[in-house]
Amino acid sequence: MSPPRFVPGHEPPTRRREEAFLFAAQGLELLIEEREGGVAIPQGARLPELAEGAHFIGTLDGVDCYAASWPKGKEPPTGLKLIGGRNLFRQVDEELLFVAGRALAIAEWDVTHRFCGRCATPTDLVPGERARRCPACHTPFYPRISPAVIVLVTRGDSVLLARSASFPDAFFSTLAGFVEPGESLEETVHREVKEEVGVELKNLRYFGSQPWPFGRSLMVGYTAEYAGGELHVDDKEIAEAGWFTVDTLPRIPPRLSIARHLIDSWVERMKGKAGPSGS
């Protein structure tokens, strides 16, 4: 088995930071360097002052990686620009994409917890762990991760897909939503599907999970079967929804997402049922 390309960490090494990757984030945007044929993450030498105070997040292919926040309203240096993290899809490989997502989340945590939310005292970094702590009331602050569910619903040889009103691109995906306080993951699946498209589910099964940094969440995937109800979109989060067969699939999410993994897995199962001849 080959070693993992990315090895997470929080204790910065003694190595110089000039050649390290520096993930400079502003909200969900990242500072990148445009190169012929693609984009690249700038090295610490391009932004030495920012690199000096950055957070070590691990190594990628043996290269140190640091995360820092880019000041709001400050113009990027010549040759660098801010782009939305989602725009890195199809421009970088999967491993680099999710390291970038980790950096976005850590940079945001560092910015939003500089002061204690309980007593407003400036917080301190905690040695040896990824945390800030208030020196007055001792409240700790860790990077926040919001749990969310995503589900692929099937009915016979068709699958339920929907187009979100907030999607920047007009593609269809599986249904998803955030977990509410006091709610289990399974309860969230049933509630979200009922609220968004009006149908009920049965035979809920765990599929897998994926960190989703572009909402700072952890996506927990399920499959389920249609149990009843008329399809009716909520007209708030969902623009349209429908049942699709393998041969009538609309435009679907990019391959790196768990939504696409869910859909691709279903397509493989359906093709397997059809047999080699497709009959």
User: Span 129-154, mean pLDDT?
Assistant: 95
Question: Can you read off the two tokens belonging to residue 141?
Answer: 């602050």
Class assignment of domain 146-274?
alpha beta
Instruction: Say whether pLDDT at 215 is over 70.
Output: no
Which residues belong to CATH 3.90.79.10 in the chain?
146-274
Q: Which CATH architecture has domain 6-112?
A: Alpha-Beta Complex (3.90)
For the segment 15-33, what is each residue's pLDDT rounded down to a tens digit? 999 999 999 999 889 999 9
Percentage with pLDDT > 70 across the chain: 95
Percent of the chain with pLDDT over 90: 71
Query: How confident is the prediction for the chain on average, in pLDDT?
Result: 91
Predicted confidence at residue 1, as pLDDT, reads 63
Write out pLDDT tens, residues 156-208. Answer: 999 999 998 776 567 899 999 999 999 999 999 999 999 999 999 999 999 99
